[in-house]
Structure 1
Amino acid sequence: MSKVSYIDNMEEWRSEFSFFIPIRIRFSETDMFGHVNNVSPFIYFEEARIEFLKSVGLFGSDHDNGAMPIVADLQCDYHKQIYFNEDLHLYVKVDHIGNTSFDVHYMGLNGEQELCLTGRGRMVYIKPDTGRPVPLSDSMKEILMKA
């Protein structure tokens, strides 16, 4: 497997995940070659990210001071093909917390615990009326550090 730019030590990185959601690959998520279409992991990332934020109490919470999270960037690296009806565990963790944003990392493992996907993205909190970034509250930072 080639080096992934946002992962310094793969074993250490893998060991830091605890939260995951199960995903069963649907036929509609595959392409004419029978493997998962290259856009489908971004849908899996979204689903896992929302469930993760719900699990720590930050999805639609009072901690956001009227701001809303948006995806500022999103990246996926494909390591092993995934096929229709396979089970995938999509893991999520917070990697870095900034002033107005935090980075989220993703890891997809198949039923044999083989690495299929890795990903990362940045979530930025903005004021809906201005579209401008706003600082994360101290309570949000504390929750994210413990997640």
Structure 2
Amino acid sequence: MRHVFPCPLRWSDMDAFGHVNNVVFLRYLEEARIDFMFRLARQADSESFTGGSVVASHEITYVKPLKHRPEPVTVEMWVTRIGAASLTVAYEVRDRAGEGSTVYVRASTVVVPYDLEKERPRRLTDAERAFLKEYLDDSATGVGAA
């Protein structure tokens, strides 16, 4: 299963070349990830990811320029790896949900659950692991995929 997040484009997202700036795509990914971890995960279990999380790395492939438009883009997001103390999510930023729509970006992010009080990484809880498994698809990495 994939998390589908409609993300509005803002006029300020454009750069001098008239398309969405490359760094803005990281914000789109962040918005989808926040919705996934702080809304969906907490709906599934009120304690999921409440201790915090940090980004360990991003990998992003820009497939096609995106020009500003009034319609939102769709960020599809899924889990590609669940470790003991980290997870990897993949994304596609596209026109609309589903195959056949234009893909602008493919990306992945390694996320580490973090204990804010102790200021150090922590292991995934059983509830977090169960939630993530619903979105697990390790056959499609998101980056560089055709």
TM-score normalised to the size of structure 2? 0.79
- Residue 129 of structure 1 corresponds to 117
From 78, 84, 102, give the equivalent of 1:93: 78
The percentage of aligned residue pairs carrying the same residue is 28
**Structure 1 residue 58: deviation in Å?**
6.8
Instruction: Provide the aligned length of Structure 1 versus Structure 2.
Output: 130
- Residue 78 of structure 1 corresponds to 62
Change beyond 3 A, Cα 1:59–1:139: closer
- Residue 141 of structure 1 corresponds to 129
CA distance in 2: counterparts of 1:58 and 1:98, whole angstroms: 22
- SS of the residue 2:21 aligns to: coil
- 1:32-62, CA deviations, whole angstroms, 9 ceiling, x for partnerless residues? 1001101100110011011122123279941
Root-mean-square deviation over aligned CA pairs: 2.2
Change beyond 3 A, Cα 1:42–1:59: farther
**What letter matches 2:81 in structure 1?**
H
- SS of the residue 1:43 aligns to: helix
TM-score normalised to the size of structure 1? 0.79
